[in-house]
Structure 1
Amino acid sequence: MYVVIVGAGEVGTAIAKSLADVHDVAVIDIDGSRVERLMYETDILGIEGDGTDLETLEEANVEEADILIASTDDDETNIVTCSTTMTVTESFTISRVKSAKFLRTWQRSERAFGIDHMVATNLLAAETIAQVVGLPAAQDVEMFADGLVQMAEFDISESSPVANLTVEEADRYESLTFAAVLREDTVVIPRGETVLKPGDSVIVIGSPDSVHTFAHELEPDTDGTPNILIVGGSDIGYHTARLLQERGLKSRLVEQDHERAREIAEALSDTTVLESDATDRGFLEQEHIEDVDIIVTALDNDEKNLLAGLLAKRLGAKRAVAVVDSGGYVDLFEAVGIDVAVNPREATAEEITRFTREQQAENVAIIESDRAEVLEIEIDEESVLVDRPIRESVADLPTGVVIGAITRDGTFVIPRGDTVVERGDHVVVFVEIDSLEEASGKL
């Protein structure tokens, strides 16, 4: 597959690096130094120029492209790039936009703007936050098989009930699979004797009920409806509150600007909107911050998000989720005390990469910046799994593959060694990135 990417910022660079190993990739950017750096780091064709210019696109052989991805930081530039591409080719076009207003317009008309698929950065970040907030202790959450299967990533702390237990000792859940352990820079495929150590992250795949039970055992004080405080009425803050409200989770939202606070209060009838400064210690104490289960900081400034999150935790909030605009700050935020840092650009890059890979799979989740993937595969007659017990067929798969769950005719099937996989089953598998190409050819 030939992919043309316009924009070599954080999003475009991440997408290019993820796709270049298995596809032919060209990257266009108006900044020549970005292009040169990316060409040095990755096997791509780099072109300095304006992606809205037809001549520049033709220089990248856009007529031959299977997919064009417009990923600059400017919404209008991305839309014009896709529209220009449409004049010379039938390439599948993907546009990144920050504002959900463009997404709403696009959704009302098939291929509006000449765009086949649109990803709204702020809305996607809000969806990521809402998923994490809905599952106690989770670092990452994805749904598969129309909601019948859930994948989640959890950190193992010193105080975790499963710390220093073997997988066999920790595995007390009928419909849950311990798919992988992320330990420093390595991916460990767990066996019964594998010890879950403090500092590890564990990937589990199973029914939502089992995953939620596991989450609540990791954080036993989080049973019941969580007390959620959102700081900032930014686009991300607003959409987070709206998504939580739609899921029956009421939250409080703090916004300092009077007009914006009034606007959100009118739009979200089941969300309590407070007009104040969330970095004011007196205000937080007045609002009983010590009773807050999760604080989400969604201001338009990384430093303020960090300050508000750390202050809230210092005053007793149990968990902090922060929006981080700069990808370079994500590890720093989590190192100093923020529990989950959500970078909208990283989330967007993963979503676009995921979409390109869904050409071969029903659904894809990317783990830890492309260290592994979780795939949903519909089994056909060419799969090595079909009509065979799992214990027999896994011998034909790479060692970095774990079968996490199966669904059949809308029901969850617990994968065991003697389970026979049938044609038409949906199988959710964990795959190490080094095993991905071989596994994809066999699944």
Structure 2
Amino acid sequence: MRIVIIGAGQIGSFLAKNLSEEHDIIIIDKNKDTVERIKETLDVFTILGEGDNPAVLKEAEVEKAEVVIAVSGDDRTNILATLYSQSIGVPRIIARIDDMRYLEYPSFLKKPDILVVNTGTIVAEKITGLISTPFAWKAETFAKGKVQMLKLKVEEGAPLVGKKLSELGSPKAWIFVAISRNGKIEIPSGETELRAGDYIFAFGIPSVLERLEALLGVKEEKVDSVIIVGGGKVGTKVAKNLSELGISVKLIEHDRERAKEIAEELPDVMVFNGDATDSETLKEAGVSSADYFLALTGDDENNVLSALLAKHLGAKRATVLYYKSDYINVIEAIGVDRAISVRLATANEILSLLRIGGVAHVALVEEGKAEVLEFDITKDTKIAGIALKDVGFPSGAIVGIVARGNDIIIPRGDYVPMVGDRLVVFALPQAVKKVEKIFSIQ
């Protein structure tokens, strides 16, 4: 497939890297240094120029593209590139639009061949999901919200430390599909022994958490109060979402005028004007009694520093938003509780919209160390009617859970995929192609 990507920033370059192995990628960016870096690191065709310039788009031969993905950091560039691509008949267009005002009036954005992603909305949904499961390090939903994937940390003294998975009994509402140990993700077997410090990836039913809580030795904790740092698009969207859930929300914004705007826009949110890396500002906001501290500015360093300070001053939990992939290792090493990648969240949404190779939904895990793929079983799917044990599933992947109508099934070897089933698969990179082949259409 020929795909043109406009914008080689964090999101565009990440998409190019993950799509270039299977597709012909042309990437456009106006920054010379960025283009040179992409040339040196990726097997893609690069063009230096403005993504909204028709001459540049002609050079990229956009008219031959099956997909155009406009993900530059400038909404107007993305909109103009989308308009041009639509006018010459590109069949599928995905546009990143961050300013919600643009979503209100342009009729072209509502056309079926144009799919719009909004970074603020995507990230806000991720954060809201984390708040609902405060003991989880990450939370994602699959199968149209029927299935949840949680990343859970095995703490010292937890009931499951030192136990083999086979000793935990047959999975009912939840199943452990992968373990991350020392930065490496593996698909476990029944003989895998859990250790303190491990991270577990679990699939299950969002409304049934009691079994997980018992195994991890945690108690359900209600989140009543949240402090948010950053009054940008993400911060204000999260503040609005949480206040509508009845949570007490305080927001810290360093710009005085912006703080005034937010106070008027969100009357149920208490807004503070100040620097979140200043302990006095955090104390004034009551950080010591906060159930959750969310650092959501556009500055990675600021987010990490304010979160560390908040934890030092007594906040129960802290989550940081980060843009640069290098920060994930730093964040986990220094003791910040949770981290959400803007580029990974946005890229996952875009990859799902592409629906390549019969995949209904896809999500990259831990910057691409693994993938979660969803497949819908149709009458033409190769494995329809064949027991899972007879399929020859690769060792680096596992069918974790199945949605069949309103029922959720944790499959065993004798499970037989039926038409209408949606299977959620956890796969390591080396197994992805084999998994896609298994679920291909006859």
> How high is the TM-score relative to the length of structure 2?
0.89
State which drifts further: 234-243 or 246-255: 246-255
Contact 1:18 1:353 in 2 (8 A): no
Label 1:115 to 1:323 Cα distance change in 2 as closer, same or farther (>3 A).
farther
Distance 1:98 1:363 in 2: 22
User: Mapping of 1:18-417 within 5 angstroms?
Assistant: 18-105=18-105, 109=107, 111=109, 116-170=114-168, 173-211=171-209, 213-214=211-212, 218=216, 220-255=218-253, 257=255, 259-274=257-272, 277-282=275-280, 284-285=282-283, 288-357=286-355, 360-393=358-391, 396-417=392-413
Distance 2:155 2:29 in 1: 42
Q: Tell me: CA distance 1:375–1:57, structure 2 relative to 1, closer, same or farther (3 Å).
A: same
Shift of 1:193: 1.2
Q: Do the aligned partners of 2:322 and 2:339 also contact (CA within 8 Å) in 1?
A: yes
Q: 1:152 to 1:358 in 2, by over 3 A?
A: farther
Report the CA distance between 1:354 and its aligned residue: 3.0
CA 1:171–1:223: 2 relative to 1, 3 Å: farther
Q: Is the 8 A contact 2:272 2:285 kept in 1?
A: no
* Matching residue's letter, 1:135: T
Call closer, same or farther: CA 1:50–1:275 in 2, change over 3 Å: closer
Residues 137 and 218 in structure 1, CA contact (< 8 A), matched pair in contact too: no
- Give 3-state SS (helix, strand or coil) of 1:127's partner: helix
Q: CA deviation at 1:270?
A: 4.3
Match of 2:434 in 1: 438
TM superposition shift of 1:148: 1.5
Q: Which moved more, 1:169-178 or 1:41-50?
A: 169-178
Gap change, CA 1:159 and 1:243, over 3 Å in 2 = farther
Following superposition, the deviation at residue 284 of structure 1 comes to 4.0
- SS for the counterpart of 1:204 is strand
AA matched with 2:74: D
Say which is worse superposed, 401-410 or 180-189, in terms of deviation: 180-189
Counterpart CA distance in 1 for 2:347 and 2:23 is: 16
- Aligned-partner Cα distance in 1 for 2:276–2:435: 49
Runs of at least 5 residues in structure 1 that lack an aligned partner in the other structure: none
After superposition, the C-alpha distances for 1:292-328 in whole angstroms (9 at most, x for unaligned) are 2211012343333222211110122121111234443
- Structure 1: how far apart are the matches of 2:254 and 2:414? 59
Distance 2:262 2:294 in 1: 16
Cα distance between partner residues in 2 of 1:227 and 1:162: 30
* CA distance in structure 2 between the aligned counterparts of 1:51 and 1:284, rounded to whole angstroms: 42
Contact 1:136 1:216 in 2 (8 A): no
C-alpha root-mean-square deviation of aligned residues, in Å?
A: 2.8
- The residue type equivalent to 2:366 in the other structure is E
The answer on whether the counterparts of 1:321 and 1:342 sit within 8 Å (CA) in structure 2 is: yes
Q: Deviations over 1:66-86 (max 9, x none)?
A: 111112221111111111222
Whether 2:15 is the aligned partner of 1:15: answer yes
Cross-structure match for 1:422: 418
Q: Check the 8 A contact 1:179/1:205 in 2, yes or no.
A: yes
Q: Quote the Cα distance in structure 1 between the aligned partners of 2:112 and 2:133.
A: 37
In 2, Cα distance between equivalents of 1:157 and 1:3 = 44
The Cα of 1:256 is off from its aligned counterpart by: 5.1
Distance of aligned partners of 1:373 and 1:121 in 2 relative to their CA distance in 1, 3 Å threshold: same
Q: Deviation string for 1:174-204 (max 9, x for gaps)?
A: 1211111123353311111112233332211
21 and 219 in structure 1: CA distance in 2 versus 1, 3 angstrom threshold: farther
**Residues of 2 paired with 1:255 and 1:56: CA distance?**
39
- Write out per-residue CA displacement over residues 371-401 of structure 1, whole angstroms, 9 at most, x where no aligned residue: 22212211123435422333333xx222222
Structure 2 Cα separation of the partners of residues 405 and 425 of structure 1: 10
Contact 1:63–1:89 (CA<8 Å) still a contact in 2?
A: yes
> In structure 1, how many angstroms separate the alpha carbons of the residues matched to 2:424 and 2:9?
32
Check the 8 A contact 1:103/1:119 in 2, yes or no: no
Instruction: Quickly say closer, same or farther: Cα 1:27–1:283, change in 2 above 3 A.
Output: closer
Query: 2:2, 2:25 within 8 Å by CA — same for their partners in 1?
Result: yes
For residue 210 of structure 1, give the secondary structure of its aligned residue in structure 2. coil
Q: Which consecutive residues of structure 2, in runs of 5 or more, have no partner in the other structure?
A: none
